[in-house]
A and B are shown apart, each in its own frame.
Chain A
């Protein structure tokens, strides 16, 4: 597509439930990133996928968080047993090659997660 598409745009869930957030990157972009943005805060890196390489999971805050990228395109971020502190906007970004090529990250509009 023309841009990075994320769904759902808003998700309200109860504490303890699992949620899945989807990201559809720009066609042809090999690098895909997930960031988390808490209210009034900057962006916190979560995970990075580049082509067929093993993902960089160094930013995932706990083992309740996981992400997959199927076929080098669509990615799903899964949060198990959600907690109230997981409430945030989850942003996905993609780029043509990844930062080593100094390619710009293009962000989606984000998925706003509220855990009650």
Chain B
């Protein structure tokens, strides 16, 4: 079946370094992608989204890159801070009424 998956379940980075979290999707019909951040004990929080007609979108300290050729999505966090430690989920929408989420990547920021 169709799925959204992540290459790595965990990622550790030094404080101040840049982080890159990857996501692979299998449905070429997906037209909308979102990254969510989930801190322990909290619900997922929207970070950034991108439509399939774009390759890149930037926010504050975050950038999402979309490569439709290889069905790959990445989230880049610049100058990673301790507060960035969380689980990051990518999610896709295929014109349906609900998002399909990946299993998440645990980002740990080391002092």
Give min CB distance, B88 to chain A, whole Å.
11
B89-A102 in contact (CB<8A): no
Q: Is A116 an interface residue (CB 8 A)?
A: no
- A65 in contact (CB, < 8 A): no
Beyond A41-B103, A42-B103, whether A106 also contacts B46 by CB under 8 A is yes
> A62 interface residue, CB < 8 Å from B?
no
Segment among B14-22, B61-69, B75-83, B92-100 that sits at the interface with chain A: B92-100
- Does A91 contact B43, Cβ atoms closer than 8 Å? yes
Q: Which residues of chain A (59-116) have a CB below 8 Å from chain B?
A: 59, 91, 93, 98-100, 102, 104-110
Question: Nearest-CB distance from A112 to chain B (Å)?
Answer: 9
The digit string for A25-59, where 1 denotes a CB below 8 A from any CB of B, is: 00000000101000011111100101000001001
Q: Which residues of A contact B36 (CB under 8 A)?
A: 107
Q: How many of chain B's residues have a CB under 8 angstroms from any CB in A?
A: 25
B98 touches A45 (CB 8 A): yes
- The answer on a CB contact under 8 Å between A107 and B104 is no
Partner of A110, one of B43, B91, B99: B43
Interface residue A21 (Cβ < 8 Å from any Cβ of B):
no
Most B CB contacts (10 A, CB to CB) among A43, A50, A105, A108 go to A43
Instruction: Tell me whether A105 and B51 are in contact (CB under 8 A).
Output: no
Q: Flag B95-111 by CB within 8 Å of A: 1 or 0 each.
A: 11111111110000000
Is the Cβ of B98 less than 8 Å from the Cβ of A59?
yes
Contacts of B103 in A (CB 8 A): 41-42
A30 CA to B71 CA in the complex, in Å? 32
Taking a contact as CB atoms under 8 Å apart, the answer to whether B98 and A48 are in contact is yes
Q: In the complex, are the beta carbons of A104 and B46 less than 8 A apart? A: yes
Chain B residues with CB under 8 A of A102: 32, 49, 51
Q: Are A105 and B97 in contact (CB under 8 A)?
A: no
Task: A50 to B97: give the CA distance in the assembly, Å.
Answer: 9
What residues on A are CB-neighbors of B42 within 8 Å? 109-110
B32 touches A42 (CB 8 A): no
Residues of B within 8 A of A (CB): 4, 32, 34, 36, 41-46, 49, 51, 89, 91, 93, 95-104
